[in-house]
Structure 1
Amino acid sequence: MLNETVFRTEDLPGADRFDYWCERIGRTHAPLDLHSPYAADYRAHQRVVELGALHVWPTTHQALRYRRTPKLIRQSDPEQYHIGIPLQGTNRISWGDERALLGAYQIQVYDSSRDVEVNCTNGTDPFSGIGIEIPKRLLHLPQHSMDRLFARGMSGREGFGALLVQFLTQVVSDTSCYLPSDGPRLGTVVVDLLSSLFARTLDADRALPPETRTRSLVLRIRAHVQRNLHDPRLTPTTIAAAHNISISYLHRLFQGEHETIAAWIRHQRLERARRDLADPAMASTTIHAVAARWGFVRAADFTRAFRTAYGMPPRDYRQQVLHGAAPVLLSTQRL
């Protein structure tokens, strides 16, 4: 199963529960100033599921007010975004002179580097939701664009938002069907869905500068590629058609990236295949089947590309990894 930690205040004496909860929240997210009318006998439950570098945590708790203060930010800043998704209840948010009230299935973004106060309530019933802690470096939107999303409600009932909520709900409902090695792969899907949601939201804002709209388009294209790596028909031509742009414009978009669109697709496919070859659970899957799974139609083309990228044929790589060796690769592919 995935790496997972469970916290329950009910396991402690009533007088110790709220202090324990404050400590655990501080470790999961960032140090916070917390208050609750139920602090004398606080009831809360939280699971923290590791998906590579990001953490997803479904939670249920009594009414809670928390604040990320300038003093706490100076003391400790993990440089991450917190994505909050209430499932039952509302968040009343205050930052600077701004106010917002966001309800169930409204996806919201907070920044560990910004002062904010949030009241999580569901009347006398427990509040429930899903949180995501994601390092800022994993999202490729510039800071000024992310600032536009701060405490802004994005629907979790349609489009990319609905896909994100459905995916998270499915993963956390039963983590026993996954291996720990699946965590980073699932985390990549979450990053892709968040990037697509944010890019679509920002692209709908006409006040965005042209460079931000361009970056949002690149993010949507990257998300499209990640979803379709298995399809051998995925080419610059089909990508341009799917986004209603010309081939030449697609290539111009990637001029500012680390590599061409075709090279990036190839690297993504090779990296996914390499992970499968190193996965003991897929040891009985033929190399040709692994290659076909990631869009390589001809086994010879896959073997040649793998050898060029990593310095050894895929068969040798699989044998070394599955027998406990640590292969010396020619290069490390970018994710």
Structure 2
Amino acid sequence: MAIVTIDTSGVGEPDRLDFWRSTVCDQFVDLDVTPTAGRLVDGRISAADIGGTHIRRIASGPHTFTRTSRQVRAADEDYLQIALARRGRTLIVQDGREAVIRPGEFVLYDSSRPFTFATTDDFEYSVCLHPKRSLGLTETEIAAVTAIRFDGRRGVGAMVPPMLSALHRTVDEGMTPATVEALERTVGDLFGVLVRSHVPARSPAGVHLDRARAFLREHLADRELNPAAVAHGCAISVSYLHRLFAEAGTSVGATIREERLLRCRADLVRPELAHVAVGAIGARWGLPDPARFSRAFRARFGCSPSGYRAQATGQLSSVRRSAGSMSGDGSVT
């Protein structure tokens, strides 16, 4: 999609705070958004998506942003995120650590656990939200690098500022699916490099688990995909495969089902697939029985596939209309 810019200056004072809070939650993750008391909210967000990766810029006055345990439990997607400071000084708290970042510095943080951002002056961040499920990293590895200050001007951190700036310029409605997938992989590789710069390389078991997850993601459309096929594709035994997933707190079957449902959910709101029937969306990701697909989707996301498509399409249209009405200078493209 194209870059959408949302600015609170076009909203009247009585409604501005509620509009700002809902916009921040819509464009990032569900948060408690608390501006400094006594100041009129003056905020701006630009947003673009590259597949399941979200690229954001946000600027405003002093704030505290808090992700609570309740909000974590209610989430249906987990992201590993980069927040690069472009203006202001910010304290970040997560996983028992604290970090302070200034312009040119950044942190990694995880939406699946509580965190806090607090700034005492005007701020601006570039933020990248990338689905954790595609990274092949364990929860232990991710938790080891959250709320640690990275310098965006030297070392591996120097790759981040130009990458985030380039992604903002690259977003184009005309990108092919292959281009989108390649960009998503590149972003995921960047996250992996950052984590590996602080966490030792994976054990052999971790490598096998990564390979198995990668194999099943590549073959989700195969209706015959099962543990035996995954084990054969990774040259390991079925029993060892089951043990790897059990040690990671899940199972092969549950992972296949989850990945298929997430792919279906993403396709249901892709504009270029708006003409494709809901049942066909399920079939293209290895869920050919429409009734079973609908039941599984409802159990996972709380609504039917058709209901989700209608709701998500309506919300996107509403955001675009609201953003367009506030940006007469052509800032919405």
Instruction: Please confirm whether the aligned pair reaches a TM-score higher than 0.5, indicating the same fold.
Output: yes
Please state how far the C-alpha of 1:178 moved relative to its aligned partner: 6.3
Distance 1:170 1:97, change over 3 A: closer
Distance 1:145 1:11, change over 3 A: same
2:198 aligned counterpart, secondary structure: helix
Query: Which string of whole-angstrom CA distances, capped at 9 and with x for unpartnered residues, describes residues 152-200 of structure 1?
Result: 1122222332223212112314645963644333222211112122112
Matched-pair contact (CA < 8 Å) for 1:65–1:119: yes
Structure 2 unmatched ranges of 5 or more: 215-230, 236-283, 286-333
The answer for the alignment partner of 1:31 in structure 2 is: 30
Query: Which string of whole-angstrom CA distances, capped at 9 and with x for unpartnered residues, describes residues 6-63 of structure 1?
Result: 2111121123222112111112222111111267521111111111111011222212
Distance 1:120 1:188, change over 3 A: farther
Distance 1:111 1:149, change over 3 A: same
Matched-pair contact (CA < 8 Å) for 1:38–1:63: no
TM-score if structure 2 supplies the norm length?
0.57
2:147 aligned counterpart, secondary structure: coil
The answer for the alignment partner of 1:69 in structure 2 is: 68
The answer for the alignment partner of 2:203 in structure 1 is: 211
**Distance in 1, Cα, partners of 2:17 & 2:7:** 11
**Distance in 1, Cα, partners of 2:196 & 2:205:** 8
Matched-pair contact (CA < 8 Å) for 1:73–1:113: yes
**Paired residue for 2:153, among 145, 157, 163?**
157
The answer for the alignment partner of 1:250 in structure 2 is: none
- The one-letter code matched in structure 2 to 1:92 is L
Distance 1:97 1:143, change over 3 A: closer
Which protein has greater RCO, CA pairs closer than 8 Å, 6+ apart?
2
The answer for the alignment partner of 2:188 in structure 1 is: 191
Matched-pair contact (CA < 8 Å) for 2:55–2:167: no
- RMSD of aligned alpha carbons: 3.5
**Paired residue for 2:141, among 139, 145, 154?**
145
The answer for the alignment partner of 2:227 in structure 1 is: none
% same residue = 19
Matched-pair contact (CA < 8 Å) for 2:2–2:172: no
Q: Greater Rg, structure 1 or structure 2?
A: 1
Distance 1:257 1:59, change over 3 A: farther
Distance 1:213 1:201, change over 3 A: farther
**Distance in 2, Cα, partners of 1:100 & 1:197:** 16
Matched-pair contact (CA < 8 Å) for 1:45–1:59: yes
The answer for the alignment partner of 2:59 in structure 1 is: 60
- The one-letter code matched in structure 2 to 1:116 is F
Distance 1:257 1:17, change over 3 A: farther
Please state how far the C-alpha of 1:202 moved relative to its aligned partner: 1.6
Query: Which string of whole-angstrom CA distances, capped at 9 and with x for unpartnered residues, describes residues 79-101 of structure 1?
Result: 22222111212221234654322
1:149 aligned counterpart, secondary structure: coil
**Distance in 1, Cα, partners of 2:198 & 2:95:** 23
Distance 1:38 1:11, change over 3 A: farther
Matched-pair contact (CA < 8 Å) for 1:15–1:41: no
2:112 aligned counterpart, secondary structure: coil
Q: Does residue 51 in structure 1 map to residue 50 in structure 2?
A: yes
1:170 aligned counterpart, secondary structure: helix
- The one-letter code matched in structure 2 to 1:199 is R
- The one-letter code matched in structure 1 to 2:132 is K
Distance 1:6 1:44, change over 3 A: same
2:144 aligned counterpart, secondary structure: helix
Please state how far the C-alpha of 1:140 moved relative to its aligned partner: 1.1
- The one-letter code matched in structure 1 to 2:181 is P
The answer for the alignment partner of 1:318 in structure 2 is: none
**Distance in 2, Cα, partners of 1:185 & 1:10:** 37
- The one-letter code matched in structure 1 to 2:2 is N
**Distance in 1, Cα, partners of 2:233 & 2:46:** 37
The answer for the alignment partner of 1:16 in structure 2 is: 15
Distance 1:213 1:110, change over 3 A: farther
Distance 1:212 1:11, change over 3 A: farther
- The one-letter code matched in structure 2 to 1:163 is M
